[in-house]
Structure 1
Amino acid sequence: MTELNSNESVDSSGSFRLLMSYVFADRPLFIKALLLVVIATGLDVLGPILGKVFIDRFIMPDDYPLWPIVGIISAFIITTVLGTFLQYQQTLKFINIALKAVLDIRKRVFSHVLKLPMAFFDKARTGQLVSRITNDTESIKDIYVQFLANVLSNVILLIGILTAMAILNIQLMLIALLLLPIVGGLIFIYQHFSGKIVAKSRQLRSDINATISESIAGMSVIQATNQQQPKLAQFNEINQGYYQTRLQTIKIASFLLRPAINLLSIIILVGVVWVFGRQVVEGVAQIGVLYAYLNYLGRFTEPLAEITQRFSLYQQAMVAGDRVYKLLQEPALVQFPNHGAAIEHGKLTVRDLSFGYHQDQYVLKKININIQSGDFYAIVGHTGSGKSTLLSLLLNFYQPQHGKIFIDDHLLPSFDHDTLRNGIGFIAQEPFILSSTIYENIDMGRSLGQQAVEQAAREAHLDEVIQQMPDGYQTQLGEGGLRLSTGQRQQLIIARALAGSPKILLLDEATANVDSETEQVVQKALNRLRGKVTMIVVAHRLSTISHADNILVLDKGELVEQGNHRELMRLKSGVYRSMYELQRQERKLAQLQA
């Protein structure tokens, strides 16, 4: 289970405060919406009273004076039309509140995700994160549009109806009042039975998104290993689970919400008609009062049914809010107070560094390194020796359990994010290409300018290739840079790193997946930087780093050897020498087989 899958308890009061804070964020807008609700409700409540007056004054006495009747009918039409218009306006106001809230929450969540440490992404699933940022934030909108607006307007309507009932007949008002505690009990029972099911439903929905995302990303592997049926079975199991949980919530809502309210209202209606109808027949009560009361009773049960019905949406929206709130509570990267200095030289110092992804399993142990500005260092070692982990620590992706890292004699975490990313360039083994233009892929939103972008492309020996393309630097690369070869994608990443004029350049097996010709191009680009930029290269092909100033040899997380190529080759039983000779034998064998 990942962190996103865990069922840890979430502070629901915290998520509720988060969601309600947006209601009062634009106080004037909320007050306007509330005033519109009150006025529209008042106009709505006037209708049955006008009907009562019409029945008792004109129909029952069989007296139809023209202008009074015109006045009553006109008042009825005006209140109906104006009430409808105001309800439309209030809906727009609440939708405005909802859209602003969703806009800000989604921006806030994505901004927070961008600041989370890499350790979080080691455990998270992409599809689930996407679901939280998109689906869950969208569901939150129901809190404001479907629930808050509906409940507010219906509560005010209930107050208005009860007031009008009390004016007509206090006894009848008390009968209607009996419905309120019964409805409250039904809502409590619904929340009790549906809460966990709704939470599980949303979790399964995230799992569906995660499974689809992973399957599409790894489609070539799935088809190559004939895993279509197992993947389909996995998806069907999750999808069926989601269907069952949704069906359970619908069954509970269908039984406890509107049907139960309708049944109660019918029972009360029959009782009122029987008791009050006899009073009308006996001449004790006015028929206009009975008409108005029955009209109000119909309107009274409708808001109650609406409120209970909306609690289904409220439950789902609150679960979505809890999930979003939990993501916002994930601790961001720790930032020390910024000392204000930029990375000017590129000197690197690592002191007694120990790190493990798990507290009791160290990947790196007591590493000590001193790299002067402009030096070319290489890091080599067998798979799992900690090479890429060391680069991740230098990039401040993780915090070491022991030891410290310094750049230009300042602690690494003391540099702010912008300073660190401008001062350190990183070239990964797997190039990340935006579905955008070549220019935007090199510039990466840094506003470097055309000249700087083209200079970086020339240094990466990619400018000639770009100039031959129909749209030059404005050529759209498509998803994953499909219009470029594997080697050209790697050159593009090198251009991106060089464009920012970094003082330190980190390369994580940048030539591992390219052919020999592209490897030579990359080597030429790096050789031109020698002495100007501090370079730290993680390499698998030892022939590519034999000219490095110093080579660090890692074995099971420990720094076991260091020195230049000649010095390390003199160690007869050295790890580096054995690795180098093994690769040389592999090259000779490959040449013989060719």
Structure 2
Amino acid sequence: MKLILRSMSAYSHGIFVSIFIKFLASVAELAIPYILAHLIDDVVPLQRIGLVLLWGGLMIATSFAARQLNISANSRAVDNAHRVSYDVRQALFSKTANLSGAQFDAFGLPSLISRMTSDSYNVQACVQSLQTMCTRMPILLFGGIAATMLMDPALSAILCVIVPILLAVVLTVSRYGIPLYRRVQERLDGVVRTMREDITGIRVVKVLSKTEYEKRRFRAANDSMTHADILASTVMAVPGPFMQMCLNIGLTLVVWFGAQRVYGGAIKPGVILAFLTYFNMVMQGVMGINRIFMMLSKATASADRIDQVLSVCSDQEVLPASACPAPAGDEFIRFEHVDFSYGETDSAGSFAGAEREKCLSDINFAIRRGESLGIIGPTGCGKTTIVNLLMRFYDAESGHIFVDGRDVRSYEKDELRRKFGVVFQNDMVFFNTLRENIRFGRRIDDLALMRAVEDAAASEYISSLEGGLDYRAEIKGANLSGGQKQRLLISRALAGDPEILVLDDSSSALDYKTDAALRKAIFEHHTGAATILIAQRVSSVQNMTNILVLDNGQCIGYGSHNALLETCPAYREIYRAQMGALA
């Protein structure tokens, strides 16, 4: 709830105006039954048409004013709620974009998506209701009670007995609402996770004829969320029938006792009509407060989930250069005795378990400007993890990583990452033109862009497409082949003329001829860059300055291609399997 109030403070003036207008509208609604009672009991008996029309016109004018004020207040409330939810989504997106790899893993992508969508919508609905229902309902409740006490204290005693009972029931039930709705949102995370996996892997699902299997898996996740939602809604709906029963009992008592008092001359008939209207307003207020608590329970659970992300502290502080050690050599990139492990983390990115199996152990290598490093090894041996540590998506557990003579921990993240041109495994092609996919918001002129396209061996296929660089790629490059996507992504990496070029298994879909032409263009036109190439094929890395051979997170070979053929049995075996002979 603190998040909601904190977000509303930026628009306090507009929210105050909306609440004030809603207050005036509610007061106008309360005045209508009083005018009706005065008209029936005091004006009509005078039999003066002019007065009847005057008070009747006043009643109509009050009704119209209440309607217009309610429309104005509701419109302002919607506008304010959208502004608040916009800010919350922007802040949540910004925070998510700056989470470290460990923190991102801790929350999980499906959970972050549901917090950005359904949770932020619940906050928006809450902000809107706080300006409308939370203003109108209490005024109807307490204003109606006050009006009935002024009209007839004896009859108002019925309300004074019923209302506290109803409020006690609402408050008691609402205590259980927040954890129940939090559970609903957590189950929604599971639905989003399953749906995302199925949509992303729909081709695999179809080719393996596992559509029915995935339907059952999704149904299980959906059922789990539905049952949690039904439980939460059922618990929060408990006061409804009880309140309706109390309303009917109260109305019956009002009619019965009111009739007795009218017959006895204690009150006039108009008072009974007004009293019945006020009684309905009071009951409407109580039931509205029940809906408010239901909405607040849901919104509070959602706000807490959003605040978990917004309040997480960075686990990757920028250290002053004086606090970091100096590298042992003058190489542009240097790893010194680097260890790293993935593991279970909390939302702050801190490890929460006992002992973790090392993903990388005692990794050492160095690259000068213009030199290249090939990394090769079996799947899961830690090749991509080296890149993740180099770009500081994660921090090493021990050892040091240096770029351009500085520990990576001493760089601002943007300053460090501007040095890189990277193509990751399964990298993203966005729903945009090829030109904008390559440029990606950077100030890159057309000449540099075309040079990158040519170096990536992409100019021939791009020119064959309708519109060339203005050809629009579908989401994830669905209308491009695997090789076309990889060349487009390599063009993006080269276009910024990076100091460090990282190609993570980025040529797996390319034929040997295109792969060779690509590597030749990189070595000829990007001589100042330090290049790291992760590959499964020996032919892709054999011309690198040095090659790092990994197995189970450990370096089992390091050196040139020819040196590794002599000293590293594992590399020699890979070469024999792929090339069919030894050099």
- 8 Å Cα contact 2:181/2:298 also seen in 1: yes
Give the AA of the match of 2:29.
Answer: D
Per the alignment, residue 497 of structure 1 pairs with 493
Instruction: Give the direction of change, closer, same or farther, for the CA distance of 1:241–1:350 in structure 2 (3 Å limit).
Output: closer
Match of 2:94 among 90, 111, 119: 111
Match of 1:269 among 217, 237, 251: 251
Per the alignment, residue 88 of structure 1 pairs with 71
Q: CA deviation at 1:123?
A: 5.5
Give the AA of the match of 2:415.
Answer: T
Match of 1:429 among 425, 441, 458: 425
Q: CA deviation at 1:346?
A: 7.9
Q: Distance in 2 between matches of 1:116 and 1:396?
A: 11
Q: Distance in 2 between matches of 1:203 and 1:384?
A: 30
- 8 Å Cα contact 2:337/2:362 also seen in 1: yes
Does the residue aligned with 1:23 lie in a helix, a strand or coil? helix
- Residue-by-residue CA offset, 1:174-206 (whole Å, 9 max, x unaligned): 432333321222112322444444333333333
Per the alignment, residue 180 of structure 1 pairs with 163
Does the residue aligned with 2:267 lie in a helix, a strand or coil? coil
Task: Give runs of aligned pairs for residues 389-538 of structure 1, distance below 5 A.
Answer: 389-529=385-525, 531-538=527-534
Per the alignment, residue 47 of structure 1 pairs with 32
Does the residue aligned with 1:284 lie in a helix, a strand or coil? coil
Give the AA of the match of 2:245.
Answer: L
More deviation, 476-485/79-88: 476-485
Does the residue aligned with 2:547 lie in a helix, a strand or coil? strand
Does the residue aligned with 2:472 lie in a helix, a strand or coil? coil
Q: RMSD across aligned C-alpha pairs, in angstroms? A: 2.5
Match of 2:119 among 127, 136, 144: 136
Instruction: Give the direction of change, closer, same or farther, for the CA distance of 1:124–1:32 in structure 2 (3 Å limit).
Output: closer
Q: CA deviation at 1:425?
A: 1.2
Q: Distance in 1 between matches of 2:169 and 2:83?
A: 33
Does the residue aligned with 1:108 lie in a helix, a strand or coil? helix
- 8 Å Cα contact 1:429/1:512 also seen in 2: no
Instruction: Give the direction of change, closer, same or farther, for the CA distance of 1:530–1:580 in structure 2 (3 Å limit).
Output: farther
Q: Distance in 1 between matches of 2:233 and 2:387?
A: 51
Give the AA of the match of 2:32.
Answer: G
Task: Give runs of aligned pairs for residues 211-360 of structure 1, distance below 5 A.
Answer: 211-257=194-240, 259-332=241-314, 334-336=316-318, 347-358=332-343, 359-360=355-356
- Residue-by-residue CA offset, 1:244-264 (whole Å, 9 max, x unaligned): 33333444344422x222221
Q: CA deviation at 1:427?
A: 1.8
Q: Distance in 2 between matches of 1:253 and 1:383?
A: 51
Q: Alignment length, in residue pairs? A: 565
Per the alignment, residue 7 of structure 1 pairs with none
Give the AA of the match of 1:66.
Answer: I
- Residue-by-residue CA offset, 1:486-545 (whole Å, 9 max, x unaligned): 222211111111111111111212222322232223222222246321111222211222
- 8 Å Cα contact 2:7/2:87 also seen in 1: no
Instruction: Give the direction of change, closer, same or farther, for the CA distance of 1:534–1:143 in structure 2 (3 Å limit).
Output: same
Q: Distance in 1 between matches of 2:532 and 2:543?
A: 13
More deviation, 379-388/454-463: 379-388
Match of 1:564 among 520, 540, 560: 560
Per the alignment, residue 14 of structure 2 pairs with 29
Give the AA of the match of 1:18.
Answer: L
Give the AA of the match of 1:151.
Answer: C
Instruction: Give the direction of change, closer, same or farther, for the CA distance of 1:57–1:394 in structure 2 (3 Å limit).
Output: same
- 8 Å Cα contact 2:370/2:530 also seen in 1: yes
- 1:149 paired with 2:132, answer yes
Match of 1:68 among 39, 51, 63: 51
Q: Distance in 2 between matches of 1:26 and 1:586?
A: 73
- Residue-by-residue CA offset, 1:422-448 (whole Å, 9 max, x unaligned): 211112233421121110110011132
Q: CA deviation at 1:305?
A: 1.3
Does the residue aligned with 1:554 lie in a helix, a strand or coil? strand
Q: For structure 2, list consecutive stretches of 5 or more residues without a partner in the other structure.
A: 322-329, 344-354
Q: Distance in 2 between matches of 1:277 and 1:561?
A: 100
Does the residue aligned with 2:194 lie in a helix, a strand or coil? helix
More deviation, 156-165/407-416: 156-165
- 8 Å Cα contact 2:96/2:104 also seen in 1: no
- Residue-by-residue CA offset, 1:109-138 (whole Å, 9 max, x unaligned): 111111112234446554443222112211
Per the alignment, residue 379 of structure 2 pairs with 383
Q: Distance in 1 between matches of 2:150 and 2:250?
A: 20
Q: Distance in 2 between matches of 1:266 and 1:547?
A: 88
Q: CA deviation at 1:395?
A: 1.6
More deviation, 171-180/316-325: 171-180
